[in-house]
Structure formats: structure tokens, C-alpha cells
Structure 1
């Protein structure tokens, strides 16, 4: 964890989510497990937890917007470059499947990031990849992401709308929203969705579950992946991914996919029987670096790290009283701004995205700018 800045302004930036399982252990309050389970004592099964508020003892010192962004810009091996450089459409599609798996980040039991405030932004660059996020809705929570890589001529646009629900012994968060990756040199667009996040209380466990579909209309290729976890009786496997890659028109299976998103995933060629490791989590999550501030003056007041700066500093110092006060200050200010808009009959409009919603298609976010500019916060290469 580091604190960047000078003068009166400082910006707290922390370690990315990793595979080590204890990246955020130091942030937990005393009697952690007991306090965590007590949160759900009065919550009824089937309840929507969208507006559920955690106290700072259960927060990691970063916003959900930052965690969302890390899945795009925080990596060891550059799988995006691999997607672009593959020669055939089938090789590119397999690489996109691997990249999609790499965006499945390892959450940790009992802790969660801050809920982003309306209009919060997160702007980070890694080499030629520039990533910009904005919280485009607060009720319900919707985050938009736009990333462009001028060197590789790649663009991706994501819209994320999590819907968490309580089921007695577990919480499941369905992650709605469209995701698209464009390999502009090849004229290919890949559409995909996200798995669900599951938090099970007994035994304590966090995993990704559910079905993911990836399709490319230009190449006529499609993939179906099923994320699964073991049952209470040990059947199945933790963190498992299983599925297939096939031709959309004929439904002919070309590859079978199987493995674990936190270790390795293999693809088996149906014709030859040859198996190839297409994804290695250790390569993707190796030597993840903390972002640094290169241009303090360029940081927007809406930047996640600036919005939650005082809360994060208090959590890192384990000053829980101060953390609660600072968090309440951020949230109270948002309620005040919302009240002022309502009294004036004003509707808040995102600065970086055009947002639409329909019952049939859900939320959709389109970036206003064609390319994302370089950011004041940079991930060292």
C-alpha cells in the first residue's frame, strides 16, 4: 500500500487483488468472523442486498470501481496483446476466451470494497492501454468502463450492474450488463457476459458460478463456459471452469475447455485430441504492481482514490471511529447533492458515457469519447 501526493493532497493507492488469499488481511477488525456473520442476522432470505451498507471494518481500502478497473489493467502477462497478434480467427477466439477468464478476479471472504458514489471516476493507464470508469447510476448501482489501446488498436466497453441477494447460507450477486471487446485490426467484435459472485457462509468460501457466453459474429465462433464450485458435500470442484468452443452455424464443437480460473485452463482439440494450456493464472497474477500517481494535478476530484482517501487512510491505520466518520461524510454529502437535484427538478447526467436502459436488454453504456486519453495514475510495467 502506498500514499502518493504532495502538499495537502494525498491519494491512497493499494495492492491489486491477487491469488495469495491474504492481500487484505491487515484491514480486518477484531472478532472479524463473528461480526461479519452478525450482519445478516436480521436479513430475510431472498432479500435484495443492493442497498446493503457495510461498516468500514468490512471494507478494503478501495472502491468497487477500482476493483472493476483492475480486472482490465492489472495483469502480469498481457493476454490482450496475445488476442490481437494471433493469426487465425480461431486462434484469436481462443485467446479471447483466455482473456475473459483472466478478468475473473479472486475476491476474499468477508471483505468488500466501497460502494461507488454517483459520478465517481477511475482513470488509469498501463503502457498504451488507457482505462476510464464512471459510476453512471447509484440506485441501482451501474458502472461503465471504456478502454482503448492505441498501439494494439483494441477497444473494450463494459457495463456492470451487480444484483446481490441473500439466500440464508449464502449471498449470490448476479452481474448484469454487456461486455464487448473490439479487435479493430481484424474487424472483430466479441460479446460476453460475467459469471455470478457467490459468498457461502458455511464453510466460509467465495467463488464465481454460473454460465458465460462469448460470441463473435464476424468469425461465427461461440463459447459456452460454466463456472462452478464444490457443494457442501465436496462434490464438484472449487473455482472450476468447463465448457466448449463451437461454430455458431453448425453447432459443431471444435474445442472442449476445462480447468480452474485460479490455476490453469486447458483446451482440447476435438479432431486431434491435443490439449493445450490456454490460461495460466500464475502468469496473469504474477508481480502485480501498485499504481502510482504521475500527474497529481491531473487527478479529478471524482477519482475513486481521492473520494475515499480519508476513509482508506483511517482503515489502513485501523482507526475505525475515524473511518466511520469519514465514510458517513462521503455518503451524507451524496444524499445532500441528490436532495438538491430533486428540489430543482434536475436529472444527473454522466460525463463520460451515454446510458440507456430497457426491460428487454437491461443497462447499456456507450462512451462519449472515441479514445480514452492517458491517465494521471499509471501502472508501472
Structure 2
């Protein structure tokens, strides 16, 4: 008996747990309040996920912004309403966290042991539970609602000393901003080409993940494809910033046709449904095999189910618990770090130390260098060529547009092997090593 797509595919209907969770979270949307009388912001919504009863203007004053920063930034940003602001470089460091997107791409590796379990697992449906749990684990980081720095073209991020993984990410395009990453250990190979589209809505921004993810488990060679849900950053300027990711996550085993469809519930009145996720593992005939439910900021549970999506008698629900994420540090860095590594960025490092003024000036200086490097390239009639990833003539369709693909070329593996064999491996000092991703001209010396 095949599952009814209308009921099962959304993950929010047809099953015992799904029906309960949907009835709660669909009670209403988060508390929306219009901000009036604040620097031309009439009609702007401040969305309080806790559904508090405070006056909108009182709620709008909360958050990280100082009043003068908030007002001047709002004046500047009004003209961008409805636009894609992905490539904007004029954002104040006040809204940043001391990481860049190349570093953030590596956060997914924290719970890589789940992929080790998946590779060793003989049950094809439990294998999907492990892989889906791994992909969901990264959403824990969305509780940090601050923006990562846009990577400089040619910037990299290396990670070692974690689960036997070798990880490399590289900023492969500046316009549009695109990153590529490759991670690997004895159990899996992970590749991603990442690009996002955004839509600025005044006090919020919608984020659409236009990317392609491929995960290969080495034991059986099965390949997985991920389509993540979009995200929404609420109260970007007025109020306390928070992130929601309402929508479907679809994880497909391209080798067998089995898949997971999980529905991320939208935040409702007084926080109802916030963080909730539920859905099913399906076989290739679209019959539910395992139900999954939980919170993406806390834990996930799973239980065998019947063809109607109901828990099987005599089975119990089992839980995975997630722990606090750690910011990327030099503990996971190789001793001889690439000069293009994001850890060495002076703006990121200054923000990490709490020096907002220096972080802002260093950010501007790096952006000027990036423009200078582009002029040098154009004067020489040459294009930027990524070092660790090769551009492809292929494009991949996504729900939000076509994606240009980049493939890992294997050169980093050779580079790291040569470095590790060297007798003279020096440790890099973040305070004295100059960040240098530039391909043309010795800009680091300027």
C-alpha cells in the first residue's frame, strides 16, 4: 500500500505524532506587532516568538542595536526592500558573529559520528535516520542569529583533528557569492556547492539555500541528496533577532530511491511549534517505515511505524540528543595553515576579541583589497581560478533556481599529505600571520 502523498509528503499529516504537532503549531503564527512612530518604520512588523504582550515600540528597542545605529541603518536599508541583499558588503559588524561562511560550512561536521554509524548500519531505513539526524544537527547553530562574514574570494577553511575528517572549504565566486566544500574520513565523502538567495522584507529577510549537497557512504557506495528548507531571519533591525526554518527537508537516497521527508514547523502563538520537526522515512514505493519527531535545537526521536504512519505496537521511541555547538577554533586547524584560512582574517579576529571598531575598519580594508585584486586580474585579462575546486559546465536545478556546480579536484588531499610528511611543520600564529587569499599581486604586503 503506497502512502498518500498529500498526507505523508509534508510530514505534517497522516501520522499520530504529525497530527498532534500540526494541530498545536497551526494554532496561529507568532505574535506580530506593527512598529509605529519610529523613523519612518510605520507598518513594519516586530515578531516576538514568545508572544509577549509588551508594546511594539518597547519590543522593537530590544536586541543588539544601539538606537542611533538602528535608526541610521534603517534609513539606509529601506530602499532595498524586496531585493536580494546577498552580495551587500556595507553591513555593519554589529550584526556579525566572529565566523565567516567558510567556517560555518564546517559546523555540520560536529556530529559526524552519526555518519560513521550510518556507514556501518545494515538497515537502509535506519541509515536514513542517522543521515537525516546529522543534517538536522546543524540547525542548532541557527539559535545564533548573527550573520557570518562574507568570505573573501579565494578564502579557505581547513579542519582536521575531528573524527578523522579532512575538511576544506573555499570561496569560489564573489558575484554571485558561492562556496564549495569537501569533507572525508574512512566512512563518508561529503561535497557541497553552496549559494543562497535572499529577499529583504524590511525587518526580516528570507533565505533560500540554492545549493547541491552530495553525501556518499563508502561501505556500500550509496549516495544521498539533500534539499533543505528555507530560513527566515526575524527582527533584523527592530527587536530581538531570531531565526525560523519553516518548510520541508527532503533527503533522498539516490541509489535506492528511499527518502526522508521532514517538516519544520513554523513558530506559532506564544512559541507553539517553534523548533518542532516531524516526518517519515519512506521506502522507494513511498510507504512510511519510520516516523521521526523532535526539536531541531534539542533532540530527535524515531520509532518504527505501520503503513498508515502509526507507531508499531511493541516498539519504543528512541532519542538522539544534541549538545552545544562550539565555535571553530585553532584546535581543529592543521599546524601549517593555509594563509587564506578564515581564522586568520583580522576583522573576524577583532570581533572575536570584542573590538567592534577595529573589526569594522579591518572589514573595510579587506573589501578594498578584494576590489584591488579584481582590478589586477581584469588588467591582466585573467579570471579567478579556485585552487581546490574546479568549475563545471553543469548546472543543477533547485527549488529556487539553477546552480553552477564546482567539484573537488583532489589537490588539497595531495597538498596536505605532502605537508604532513614534511619534517619542518611550523605552527601558525594568528596574531602574526597575514591573511592572504589573493591570487594576483602581493596585496598582503600593502
Assess same fold via TM > 0.5.
yes
Structure 1's 267 and 318: CA in aligned 2 closer, same or farther, altered over 3 A?
A: closer
Compare 133-142 and 214-223 and name the one that shifted more. Answer: 214-223
Structure 1's 256 and 127: CA in aligned 2 closer, same or farther, altered over 3 A?
A: closer
What SS does the corresponding residue of 1:177 show, helix, strand or coil? Answer: strand
Give the superposition deviation at 1:286: 6.9
What is the 5 A alignment of 1:35-114?
35-36=69-70, 39-41=73-75, 42-53=78-89, 54-72=91-109, 74-75=110-111, 78-108=113-143, 111-114=146-149
C-alpha distance in 2 between matches for 1:109 and 1:124: 21
Q: Give the CA RMSD over aligned residues.
A: 2.9
Structure 1 residue corresponding to 2:234, chosen from 189, 197, 200: 200
Give the superposition deviation at 1:228: 2.5
C-alpha distance in 1 between matches for 2:144 and 2:328: 22
What SS does the corresponding residue of 2:245 show, helix, strand or coil? Answer: strand
Structure 1's 33 and 130: CA in aligned 2 closer, same or farther, altered over 3 A?
A: farther
C-alpha distance in 1 between matches for 2:255 and 2:349: 48
What is the 5 A alignment of 1:87-236?
87-108=122-143, 111-125=146-160, 126-150=162-186, 152=187, 154-201=188-235, 204-231=241-268, 233-234=269-270, 236=272
Structure 1's 203 and 311: CA in aligned 2 closer, same or farther, altered over 3 A?
A: closer
What SS does the corresponding residue of 2:139 show, helix, strand or coil? Answer: coil
Structure 1's 237 and 295: CA in aligned 2 closer, same or farther, altered over 3 A?
A: closer
Give the superposition deviation at 1:275: 4.4
Structure 1: stretches of 5+ with no match in the other structure:
1-28
Q: 1:305 — aligned with what? A: 343
* Greater fraction of residues in helix: 2
What is the 5 A alignment of 1:358-377?
358=395, 360=397, 361-369=402-410, 372=413, 373=416
Give the superposition deviation at 1:240: 1.6
C-alpha distance in 2 between matches for 1:311 and 1:370: 29
Across the two proteins, how many residue pairs are aligned to each other? 339
| TM-score of the pair, normalised by structure 1 | 0.80
Structure 1's 327 and 142: CA in aligned 2 closer, same or farther, altered over 3 A?
A: same
Does the 8 A contact of 1:109 with 1:199 survive in 2? no
C-alpha distance in 2 between matches for 1:86 and 1:350: 36
Give the superposition deviation at 1:121: 0.6
Structure 2 residue corresponding to 1:331, chosen from 367, 373, 378: 367
C-alpha distance in 1 between matches for 2:124 and 2:84: 41
Q: 2:25 — aligned with what? A: none
| TM-score of the pair, normalised by structure 2 | 0.69
Does the 8 A contact of 2:212 with 2:396 survive in 1? no
What SS does the corresponding residue of 2:317 show, helix, strand or coil? Answer: strand
Give the superposition deviation at 1:67: 1.1
Q: Does 1:277 align with 2:318?
A: yes
Bigger Rg, which one: 2
Structure 1's 244 and 303: CA in aligned 2 closer, same or farther, altered over 3 A?
A: same
Give the superposition deviation at 1:182: 0.6
C-alpha distance in 1 between matches for 2:366 and 2:241: 31
Structure 1's 163 and 287: CA in aligned 2 closer, same or farther, altered over 3 A?
A: closer
C-alpha distance in 2 between matches for 1:143 and 1:159: 6
Q: 2:275 — aligned with what? A: 239
C-alpha distance in 1 between matches for 2:108 and 2:278: 21
Q: 1:263 — aligned with what? A: 298
Does the 8 A contact of 2:157 with 2:169 survive in 1? yes
